[in-house]
Structure formats: structure tokens, C-alpha cells
Amino acid sequence: MSDLTNIARPYARAAFDFAVEQNALDAWLQMLAFAAEVAKNDQVGVYLGANGSAEKQAGLFIQVCGEQLNAHGQNLIKVMAENHRLLALPEVLTAFVALKAEYEQEIDVSVVSATKLSKAQQDALAAALSKRLARKVKLNCSEDPAVVGGMLIKAGDMVIDGSVRGKLDRLATALQS
């Protein structure tokens, strides 16, 4: 899978740079999301995996996508078909989303707590994290009773373990050493 990720990066960067230049980030996000879903389809995947001509593959792909792709999106599909890279479209979407979030200075933060957080708690947490990370924060909250109390926060590479379970685990490790 990392091979497809490496293949997808330059296409995502090119699409992103063009989208920024054209002030069309959301339109490109929608096009790539649709194209990625088409590429994930089993029947399309079998067809793309077969060694057909690039023109036929691009033509079919563009026909399936229909009006979801503008002329520039169709051009990206043609270039990717010429290089036999259409199966990498889901990874292109993933890389594009990451570039867009970085550009807009947004970060997805995963929050796991023992109980459901109220709207006020979520707002306060988002405000505190926005200040600490100097970015707009988008919270993805979930509940896990194994946390016992407190919460576990993951933002990119940063992990803040303020859970009771984490504190108990650290205490057990300290007592064993």
C-alpha cells in the first residue's frame, strides 16, 4: 500500500497546486472523492487491472464519472491512465485531503473518553487545542469504557494520555522497575 501512496503523492500535489491556483479546492476535493470511489469499485478495478489501452481505460473512467469531472479533472484521469496509475486514485484523494488540511491549517483530532462529551466540553476542548496547536481543530469524539476516566487525545503525531487507564499503566510500570 505504501507503494501506491508514493505513486499518488505527485498526482495529489499537482492537483492540489492547480486547485489552489484556480481557487477551486472544494471542487477538486469532490471530483477526486468521486473518482476514488469509482476506482474502488470491483468491476472497474478488474477492468483497470487488465492490460487495456490507456485511451480505452481513460475513456471508460471518464464515461463512468460523467459530469462529476470537469475538463481539468478529465485531463488528470487521462494522464494517470497513460501512466497506468488509475488504481492509485484513493491514495491521491487521501494525499489531497492531507495537503488541503495543511493549507487551511486544520487538524483532525481523535478524542477517546469513557463517557460521551457534552457540546460545551467539546467546544472548550477544541478551543484549548486550537490555541495549543495554532490550527483549526476538528474533533472526532468516541467513547471507550476501558479508558475508565479522563481522555486520550491524538492529533497527528502528538498523543496526550490523560486517561485513568494510562495513569494506572504508568504506575504499574513504575512499580515494576
Give pLDDT tens digits for 56-106: 888 888 888 888 889 999 999 999 888 888 888 999 999 999 899 888 888
The residue-averaged pLDDT of 106-110 equals: 88
pLDDT exceeds cutoff 50 at 150: yes
All structural domains of the chain with their residue ranges: 2-102, 105-176
- List the CATH code of the domain at 105-176: 3.40.30
The residue with cell 494510562 is 166
For 110-141, give one letter per residue: b (16+ CB within 10 A) or e. Answer: ebbbbeebeeeeeeebbeebbeeeebebebee
Residue pair 86/77 in contact by the 8 Å Cβ criterion: yes
The residue-averaged pLDDT of 112-119 equals: 92
Mean pLDDT of the chain: 88
Q: Which of 120, 115, 114 is nearest to 167 (CA)?
A: 114
Q: How is residue 144 annotated by DSSP?
A: -
pLDDT exceeds cutoff 60 at 127: yes
The residue-averaged pLDDT of 30-43 equals: 88
**Cell (9 digits) for 130:** 486550537
Residue pair 150/133 in contact by the 8 Å Cβ criterion: no
Select the CATH number that applies to the domain covering 2-102 from these four: 1.25.50.10, 1.10.520.20, 3.30.9.30, 1.25.40.10. 1.10.520.20
Q: Which amino acid is at 70?
A: N
The residue-averaged pLDDT of 132-145 equals: 90
pLDDT exceeds cutoff 50 at 1: no
Percentage of the chain lying above the pLDDT 90 cut? 44
For 26-51, give one letter per residue: b (16+ CB within 10 A) or e. Answer: eebbebbbbbbebbeeeebeebbeee
